[in-house]
Chain A
């Protein structure tokens, strides 16, 4: 599904990713953990095609296609989705209208017919039910005036609707209290399927109490320095990230 090899990326003069390797198979959930400044958000942004990053070496293949040469919207059309750490507000743009335009642009790119208003409404009602969300957020402008929890829920709702093959959740747990965290995690779990892979980027282990990963990777100083099963997350929780620094220094 996704194969990242020897990825190096810079922001300005500063190298953030220094030879990162990652392989994600269909239906797998990978957690990427690391201390602040380790390159977690850079990885999410480079994969989704945000401006401001220069890839200096390495490759990213998504279902065999070279992702790095593609525009962000084309990556989305291929089935990539980024749940933002800080979802962006679009004042005046109705959420339903936004979602319909997004979904139809994906469908169009895939050669599928666009959905009319009636079938689209039916579809969103169904998705709301799966995620136990109420429909008040449909009537509001995209993320405008949403609380932190509402914004994150809206991201998961978008993911449910756009049905990506690979979803990257960028610190989805940041800024959430425990109840909001549970709601979001339940949403993510409802969207698990053998065809959908996820990369869960997080600083804390607590999200992984709710979303059980198949693999856990430790990202530090721009590289993955350790990979393992979910027990690795518990080990990190216990020993903290300082332990990695000690190990790297040794």
Chain B
């Protein structure tokens, strides 16, 4: 057994969560035109302003070209070959309790190790389970309602609280922002809406489990979280997907808005199908996530653990508009096999004395390719702004690669910037040392990797940290012998 053979096996380990649930879907045929955009809006029973906005986005999208600047390679996507809407059958009969939920669906969650019942009992987490494109299970709504917190699907929100949604939707990520965000604005299927009123501390961690399921269906999630002055909310997003042949496009948009003294903590564990050994069939993940610290002393933290997808293109960002606002980005990204990731963050300092922290941990194994791409911009008015950036890369084997591309723009001379970057390898010496103490090579790799990621895991809520560690171990399973 050598370090090299360990690496071979990491690379070859099969995707543990790959399986397809057989549920009949009410799916639109592949293709995209104005008819399709109207049909989506209609099926969701949206107010007219939304239909109009979708069409505006669609027309703008036609004028845009796919971005090519990211360090990722993939065959050109045929946007006419994708089906833009898929809902589990009987969308009108929304389930009232778990008994009403399709047992096949529940079994899927069980296979993923996230049974809804147990989560309710153990973690006290409200689960808005998104299966394909429509929410099929929402729990703990009453507890949240008592606190005045709205936690529902974005389609419901558009129907029930259109006046609340309208001013915020698209205010952080406008449809003109980029190619994928624009596409999302035109065809988004469903997603989550959270509204936390003034001064309210959300009584529980909010969690949505996403799952891509219908064959060859693009997933265009839309998430909007609004935290009013002095409020706090922690939101968890976790995903796994079944094994499949076709490449799947996922282009989500997440918008966060924090008013004066509000705090939003957004945590993601992502484990989408990365493709087979040759990289065939994995998910393309082109996501736009952005938080707007609109109020003074507001705070937005992004924590992400990314182990899946064939291609990841993702830069959760913070606009630090309010004075003394705080932005944080903690990330662990794993690429193995033929996975490619171009990920990082943007911290835009506009307000005075704004602070941001970036901690990025990249792990590459097999032929995995990874690029950290980060922008820190200090605006002219951002007196006393500070940023600390730390980018560490860990390489396993000698066929993978890691790049760090930091962009720094400072327009105010009082700003303080720190940037640290390291690249290291798991050495044969480290593996032998652990093995001579009785640990298997697999345990040794998992221990070293978890040690490397500790600073980020510490930022995750407890239950999620455990899940993230488990996921990392599964990802690197068979890393060894």
Query: Using a CB–CB distance below 8 Å, which chain A residues touch chain B?
Result: 48-51, 71-73, 75-77, 81-82, 84, 87-94, 97-98, 101-103, 105-106, 109, 141, 158, 162
Q: From known contacts A88-B429, A101-B443, A105-B443, infer whether A73 and B451 are also in contact, taking CB-CB under 8 Å.
A: no
- The A-contacting residues of B in range 133-170, CB under 8 angstroms, are none
Whether A90 contacts B430 by the Cβ 8 Å rule is: yes
Whether A73 contacts B433 by the Cβ 8 Å rule is: no
CB-defined contacts of A97 to chain B, threshold 8 Å: 447
Query: What total count of A-B pairs have CB within 8 Å?
Result: 79
Quick one: CB contact mask for B424-459 with A, threshold 8 Å, 1 for yes? Answer: 100111101111111111010001101111100000
Least distance between A46 CB and chain B CB atoms (Å): 13
Whether A102 contacts B433 by the Cβ 8 Å rule is: no
Tell me the nearest residue of chain B to A80, going by C-beta. B436
CB-defined contacts of A162 to chain B, threshold 8 Å: 437-438
Query: Using a CB–CB distance below 8 Å, which chain B residues touch chain A?
Result: 1-2, 424, 427-430, 432-441, 443, 447-448, 450-454
Whether B452 contacts A102 by the Cβ 8 Å rule is: no
Q: From known contacts A76-B437, A91-B452, infer whether A98 and B447 are also in contact, taking CB-CB under 8 Å.
A: yes
- Partner of A84 from the list B433, B440, B450, B454 (CB cut-off 8 Å) is B433
CB-defined contacts of B434 to chain A, threshold 8 Å: 90, 98, 102
Least distance between B453 CB and chain A CB atoms (Å): 8
Q: From known contacts A51-B2, A90-B430, infer whether A72 and B447 are also in contact, taking CB-CB under 8 Å.
A: no
Q: Can you name 13 A-B pairs with beta carbons within 8 Å?
A: A49-B435, A50-B436, A72-B432, A73-B436, A73-B438, A77-B438, A88-B429, A88-B432, A92-B448, A92-B450, A105-B439, A158-B437, A162-B437
CB-defined contacts of A106 to chain B, threshold 8 Å: 438
Whether A48 contacts B438 by the Cβ 8 Å rule is: no
CB-defined contacts of A105 to chain B, threshold 8 Å: 438-440, 443
Whether A71 contacts B435 by the Cβ 8 Å rule is: yes
Tell me the nearest residue of chain B to A143, going by C-beta. B433
- Partner of A92 from the list B1, B435, B451 (CB cut-off 8 Å) is B451
Cα of A88 to Cα of B437 in the assembled complex, Å:
12
Least distance between A20 CB and chain B CB atoms (Å): 20
Tell me the nearest residue of chain B to A104, going by C-beta. B438
Cα of A65 to Cα of B440 in the assembled complex, Å:
20
Tell me the nearest residue of chain A to B427, going by C-beta. A88
CB-defined contacts of A90 to chain B, threshold 8 Å: 430, 433-434, 447-448, 451
Least distance between A99 CB and chain B CB atoms (Å): 8
Tell me the nearest residue of chain A to B435, going by C-beta. A72
Whether B436 contacts A51 by the Cβ 8 Å rule is: no
Cα of A162 to Cα of B438 in the assembled complex, Å:
9
9 residue pairs, one from A and one from B, having the closest CB atoms: A92-B451, A93-B451, A76-B438, A88-B433, A102-B437, A72-B435, A106-B438, A105-B438, A73-B435
CB-defined contacts of A87 to chain B, threshold 8 Å: 433
Tell me the nearest residue of chain A to B437, going by C-beta. A102
CB-defined contacts of A88 to chain B, threshold 8 Å: 427, 429-430, 432-433
Least distance between B210 CB and chain A CB atoms (Å): 30
Cα of A105 to Cα of B427 in the assembled complex, Å:
22
CB-defined contacts of B443 to chain A, threshold 8 Å: 101, 105
Whether B439 contacts A73 by the Cβ 8 Å rule is: yes
CB-defined contacts of B448 to chain A, threshold 8 Å: 90, 92-93
Whether A91 contacts B433 by the Cβ 8 Å rule is: no
CB-defined contacts of A82 to chain B, threshold 8 Å: 436
Tell me the nearest residue of chain A to B481, going by C-beta. A71
CB-defined contacts of B450 to chain A, threshold 8 Å: 92-93
Q: From known contacts A87-B433, A90-B433, infer whether A109 and B438 are also in contact, taking CB-CB under 8 Å.
A: yes
CB-defined contacts of A73 to chain B, threshold 8 Å: 435-436, 438-441
Cα of A93 to Cα of B435 in the assembled complex, Å:
15
Q: From known contacts A51-B432, A84-B433, A87-B433, infer whether A92 and B439 are also in contact, taking CB-CB under 8 Å.
A: no
Cα of A90 to Cα of B439 in the assembled complex, Å:
14
Of the candidates B436, B443, B450, the one having the most CB atoms from chain A within 10 angstroms of its own CB is: B436
Of the candidates A49, A98, A141, the one having the most CB atoms from chain B within 10 angstroms of its own CB is: A98
Of the candidates B439, B443, B453, the one having the most CB atoms from chain A within 10 angstroms of its own CB is: B439
